[in-house]
Amino acid sequence: MVKKLFILTCVALIVAIPFIFRRLETSLVPRAPDDVIVIITAHNETLRSEYGRGFSEWYRKKTGKIVTVDWRHPGGGRDVARYIDSMFLNNFRQYWEKTLGNPWTQEVRTIFSHLESVPGKAPEKTSKKVPEKSTTPLEHKVRQAFLDSNVSCNIDLLFGGGVFDHKAQCAKGYTVPCGLIQSHPEWFTDATIPEFFAGERLWDAEGRWVGGSLSTFGIIYNSDAVAALGIEHPPATWMDFADPRYINGIAIVDPTKSSSTLKSYEMLIQQQMQILFENYLSGRDRNHPGNDYWESLAIKEGWIAGLQLIQKIVANGHYVTDSSAQTVLDVADGNCPVGIATDFYGRAEKANIENRGAKPRFHFVIPRGGCSPSPDPISLYRGAKHRELALEFLEYVLTVPGQSLLAFKVGAPNGPTQTPICRTPILKTMYSPEFLPHYNDPDVNPYDAGDFVYREDWTKPVFDALGFIFKIAFLEPEAALRKAWRQIQKARKEGRHGAAERALAVMEDLSMFDYGTVAEAIMVEAKNKDYLRAIRYQTAIAKKFREQYEKACKIAKER
């Protein structure tokens, strides 16, 4: 009898255990719609996991409720932008047809796709007034209908992706003021989060985006792999990437897929402009009104010099990838000697290697005089389904717990639990002595900037075209470019310097992309929504440069 009772008890427990655990599990899963927040981001899994956990704990302590972050990760910053464009377009179509009772046509679709008030620029005032560039009644109607609506993209927040991406979303009317500046004015001061630093705007004056952290862009290198090339001094400036000893050695991320890479190239170009400007002003009165001429000349010549440097980076490239993470791993493993990365990718990999006790072969350095810290923003979307919860997340990011999560060691108070994020807080107050013992990199302070000052007005007229030029002039004819560059180096080694210099002059001829032309004609093509025309244009330009590089290669072979 006892044996039977024991057996029946065991059977009952076996049957009951799944239900017990199911009850425990379901009790932890949010049931109310307000307990879920939807965030789209290009950030990696480490940051998503730690921020999801950190916010959930912070919100539970504050409200007693449990919240889940529903992360959407379609890829890099450009992939995020395309996804959002598609969602707003489809949802606006439903609103236009079903709510307003209007017919959907190709013309309406085109107008909505060109919703920017000024290309590449967010409107200075947030209002429902129709942008001045509207010229037809239908344009007026479409734009006004969207600005008057609460059409959603089914996402609550955009987290990260760079200032340019957030300004572009502002310009289209996708993002709206979040009210954080009004609810926490103590944060938005020179002592805490200045409006500007080193030429960079750290938050939108109307609160349509606010920086959550600061990022810098720099050089990653494997000291063993660099030494194996016979290079005594590791790369320390953007210009070092033009060294032909790095042929087939640079890990490159496609800037048309990565907003951070595009931003690093903008910094590279601005440094060329600043070097020329300083040279022109040498020995001159810096307050002379005629210096405007020298500034204009430095901008134009620096633009071409910067493009030529990017061209040599591609010529030295081992590959061009869509993944920022791949370049870091390949440099760490020694598959590529050098590459370009954001500080958090570089420092996180360095910390990972050091924590394993491995030889310190992987390094991240900020290029001398070639970079300023940029904010990594957060924006609130129009029509956010979980608006109140989204505002809570925005607040969390700028609290001490949210900022600590960025920079603290694993296991530190308010720090990450699994992997260090290795980002730099945007709150100046986070760099006080009380916090530094918990930092993963206590010596890193982005507010201790060097002599580089970002000048948005210098590159703004041409920024949109930068990725476009990279694609059609460097990436599409990449094989021909690399072959020409190698042949030029071979000619130099053989002492045929005349042939090498003539070939280099042909290879480096980027006159069709002069500053004025790019700011006008090329920008039109870069933004063209007529895809057949765009493909024809891109194919023609890529063919021109392929032939140009083939000509340079032929010249370099002359004896």
Q: In the prediction, which pLDDT does 237 show?
A: 95
Q: pLDDT band for position 18 (50/70/90)?
A: low
Residue 27 pLDDT more than 70? no
Residue 53, pLDDT above cutoff 90: yes
Overall average pLDDT of the 365-375 stretch: 91
**Is pLDDT of 50 > 90?**
yes
Q: Angle 178-182-184 (CA atoms, 0-180°, nearest 5)?
A: 100
Six token digits for residue 204:
């939108």
Question: In this prediction, what percent of the chain has a pLDDT beyond 70?
Answer: 89
Give the integer Cα–Cα distance in Å for 52 and 67.
9
The 10s digit of each residue's pLDDT in 160-217 is: 988 888 999 999 999 999 999 999 999 999 999 999 999 999 999 999 999 999 998 8
Q: What is the pLDDT of residue 119?
A: 35
Q: Pick from 410, 478, 407: which is nearest to 445 by CA?
A: 407
User: Which DSSP helix (H) or strand (E) runs through 464?
Assistant: helix 456-469
Please give the helix or strand (H or E) that residue 85 lies within, else none: helix 77-94
CA dist list (Å): 178 to 196, 207, 315, 378, 390: 19, 6, 44, 10, 9
In angstroms, the CA 433 to CA 437 distance is 8
Q: Nearest-CA neighbor of 419 among 161, 75, 53? A: 53
How far is the C-alpha of 557 from the C-alpha of 296, rounded, in Å?
38
CB 324 within 8 A of CB 217: no
Structure tokens at 209: 């985006």
pLDDT tens-digit series, residues 104-144: 999 999 899 887 643 333 343 433 444 445 478 999 999 99
Q: Which pLDDT score is estimated for 526?
A: 67
Task: Give yes or no for a contact between 67 and 389, defined as CB atoms under 8 angstroms apart.
Answer: yes
Give the separation between CA 225 and CA 336, rounded to whole angstroms: 7
The enclosing H or E element of 175 equals strand 175-176
pLDDT, tens only, 75-97: 888 889 999 999 999 999 999 99
Q: Provide CB contacts within 8 A for 214, sequence distance 6+.
A: 202, 373, 374, 375, 376, 423, 424, 425, 426, 446
Tokens 């792999």 locate to: 225
pLDDT at residue 154 tops 90: yes
Per-residue model confidence (pLDDT) at position 6: 54
Residue 14: its pLDDT value, please? Answer: 58
For residue 432, how many other CB atoms are within 10 A of its CB? 9
What is the C-alpha separation between 307 and 463, in angstroms, rounded?
A: 12
Tell me which residue has tokens 């389904």.
Answer: 385
Among 182, 131, 74, 196, CA closest to 456: 196
Query: Can you tell me the mean pLDDT for 248-259?
Result: 92
The pLDDT, as a whole number, for residue 288 is 84
Inter-residue contact 428 to 445 (CB < 8 Å): no
Helices (H), 246-290: 259-281
When pLDDT is cut at 50, 70 and 90, the band that residue 25 belongs to is very low
Cα 364 to chain center, whole Å? 18
Neighbouring C-beta atoms of residue 424, cutoff 10 Å: 25
Q: What share of the chain is helix, strand, coil (3-state, %, to 5)?
A: 55, 10, 35
Q: Which of 35-44, 144-153, 443-452 has the lowest mean pLDDT?
A: 443-452
The pLDDT assigned to 127 comes to 38
pLDDT at position 289: 82
Which residues are registered as beta bridge partners of 35? none
Q: Which amino acid is at 444?
A: V
5-19, 20-34, 106-120: least confident range: 20-34
Cα–Cα distance between 64 and 514 in angstroms, integer?
A: 59
pLDDT (0 to 100) of residue 187: 95
pLDDT at 70 over 80: yes
Residue 355 pLDDT: 74
Mean of pLDDT over the chain: 88
Which whole number is the average pLDDT over 429-438? 94
pTM of the model: 0.83
The one-character DSSP state at 380 is E
77-215+375-431: which CATH topology?
A: D-Maltodextrin-Binding Protein; domain 2 (3.40.190)
Contact, 119 vs 527, CB < 8 A? yes
b/e per residue 10-33 (b: at least 16 CB within 10 A): eeeeeeeeeeeeeeeeeeeeeeee
Is the pLDDT assigned to residue 492 strictly greater than 90? yes
* Residues 337 and 547: beta-carbon distance below 8 Å: no
Alpha-carbon distances, residue 232 vs 198, 328, 413 (angstroms): 32, 22, 42
Vertex 87, ends 81 and 92: CA angle to 5°? 125
Q: Which fold would CATH assign to domain 217-371+453-556?
A: D-Maltodextrin-Binding Protein; domain 2 (3.40.190)
pLDDT at 5: 53
In DSSP notation, 382-439 reads TT-TTHHHHHHHHHHHTSHHHHHHHHBPTTSTT--SSS----EES-GGGGSTTTGGGB
Instruction: Using the predicted structure, report yes or no on whether residue 22 has a pLDDT greater than 60.
Output: no
Question: Residue 352 — pLDDT band, cuts 50, 70, 90?
Answer: confident
